[in-house]
Chains A and B, each alone.
Chain A
């Protein structure tokens, strides 16, 4: 298991949002975290990156990362594409990408990776010197994913990558994500409100309701589950 969480609790100030979650992400898999608004999906990703106060155990590659600082967790190879994208709005697109590789020492490989990202998302090549804040929502999303990949992460956490994107763009993006998984050998945890989309892409899935995991299994199994079909897939 690349990442394991045991009895994960997290919250904001006085309010507790996660009430003891147990889950795991297998090496090389894409794991989806499904649930309604406010269920705690974003909080889960934030908890993994120590962006909120947590208690419980989180192990990455067997070592405990709970209690460590966000930047140290990133340096271990966990790249988080946050909700809202977290773009450096006043810097250029290229500077955003280079920041993704800030902690890496292999200069030449960083240049190669930069080229490769621009290959995945040609529109970024056109806009590389443009101020990132002036890019469209879809372009910023591609930028955010590329920035995360520039880290050469072992694990990528994606928070609502489809948010605010036109359907065509979403399909394009998810296709690229599938591509990335096989080419870059990156494991992913995907938080999505759009359950159908997520279950198409993922191998494993968890369903979270008010801060607790209520269902776990393969994506196939969850797709076929009746209650999921009715509540989250709409048919």
Chain B
């Protein structure tokens, strides 16, 4: 029983990370109908940035905040410079650019930081453990994730800018008619997605250790979560993330063992795409001919 509870809690912790990354994916998808294949590498790069700051002596939360800020700017720059020229290009061209971005970020990180694994600190002190089921980092990660998600919800629901971003994602033509600069809303969306990714990366790094390839598995699970919840539903992405996290841990611990985690994500992705491509909370799309 204890083992079960621990797996569930650990699942919620990693689930929160998947939820954050899935949310970033959904945000970009909603605005552009594109899946950001490079989301994981962007998060990884941000985490390395944080590591550099911490290694240079900066206190954790200062580095955390600065990394989020820099990642936000990076996201905006990437959208304006790399993505904008291909926004309306055929799918293959866009996918190629995303993969190109993925590959560049991955290799530059490898170049600068080498491929040796580094440890990344957790800001949650050992004394914080709540009972024997949860490690301090797990609790902290869940907390941080929920905070970020709550902040985003408030931003989108209650601020004019958040409203404008939602409008620009849903209906760019009408948004222009009311004076919204749709291009910049897109860039902002990317900035936010990059910032969320940075948080996800910094929360997952203490668990999986920092190395340029650390986000591949996480990204796959985030894809699965986003698809499960509905690729155009933010709430779905969040719920999907927690579900996938718990599922991964339960199946991994009790059913199929830990060696097939990635394959599980693959099966999940294909399964969702076949059975219910719009996910549980997404809208069903009818393509007009």
* In the complex, A touching B (Cβ < 8 A): yes
| A12 interfacial by beta-carbon distance below 8 Å | no
- Is B179's CB under 8 angstroms from A103's CB? yes
Which A residues from 71 to 100 make CB contacts under 8 A with B?
71-72, 74-75, 79-80, 82, 86-91, 95, 98-100
Which A residues from 4 to 57 make CB contacts under 8 A with B?
49, 51
Give the residues in chain A near B182, CB-CB below 8 Å: 71
Give the residues in chain B near A102, CB-CB below 8 Å: 160, 163-164, 178-180
B132 to chain A, nearest CB (A): 45
A97 to chain B, nearest CB (A): 10
B57 to chain A, nearest CB (A): 43
Number of A-B residue pairs, CB cutoff 8 Å, is: 63
A151 to B175, CA, bound (A): 12
- Is A103's CB under 8 angstroms from B163's CB? no
- Is B163's CB under 8 angstroms from A86's CB? no
Give the residues in chain A near B177, CB-CB below 8 Å: 49, 70-71, 74, 79-80, 82, 86
- Is A91's CB under 8 angstroms from B170's CB? yes
- Is B163's CB under 8 angstroms from A95's CB? yes
Contacts A98-B160, A102-B164 known; A147 to B170 CB distance under 8 Å? Answer: no
- Is A151's CB under 8 angstroms from B174's CB? no
**Chain B residues within 8 Å of A, Cβ to Cβ:** 160, 163-164, 166-167, 170-171, 173-182
**Chain A residues within 8 Å of B, Cβ to Cβ:** 49, 51, 69-72, 74-75, 79-80, 82, 86-91, 95, 98-100, 102-103, 147, 151
A74 to B182, CA, bound (A): 13
A74 to B173, CA, bound (A): 12
A146 to chain B, nearest CB (A): 12
A21 to B121, CA, bound (A): 68
A88 to B176, CA, bound (A): 12
- Name the contact of B164 in the complex, choosing from A75, A87, A99 (C-beta under 8 A): A99
Give the residues in chain A near B166, CB-CB below 8 Å: 91
